Amino acid sequence: MQYYPGMLSLLISTVVFFAASFLLHRYLENWGLDSGRARTLLVMALATAISYGSMALVDHFSGKPGLLDSAIKLQQQSSAF
């Protein structure tokens, strides 16, 4: 069986997106924010950011070069000047 780190990050980020959107929706509902287009967009944007962050962490810890490795490399290059 072959290991595909890209599929692992896709699977985990999808699960994290739905969990984050559910929890954010409940949190904002308990906070008293009116349900509407603005709250829906806020939940979607925050859940997407959390999901993207989880994908970057999975890629980083699985050894696949991804977003975090590129950011670290760019920071090291810019601090060398």
> From the centroid of its chain, how far is CA 28?
19
Dihedral sign, Cα of residue 10, residue 12, residue 17, residue 18 = positive
**Tens digits of residue pLDDT in 13-37:** 999 999 999 999 999 888 887 888 9
User: Do the Cβ atoms of 50 and 61 come closer than 8 Å?
Assistant: no
- pTM (whole model) above 0.75: no
At 66, the amino acid letter reads G
Contact 22, 30 (CB under 8 A): no
Q: What ranges do the domains of the chain cover? A: 5-79
pLDDT in tens, 35-69: 889 889 999 999 999 999 998 888 778 776 666 66
**Own/partner long-range contacts of 20-27 (Cβ < 8 Å, ≥24 apart):** 20/46, 20/47, 20/50, 20/51, 21/47
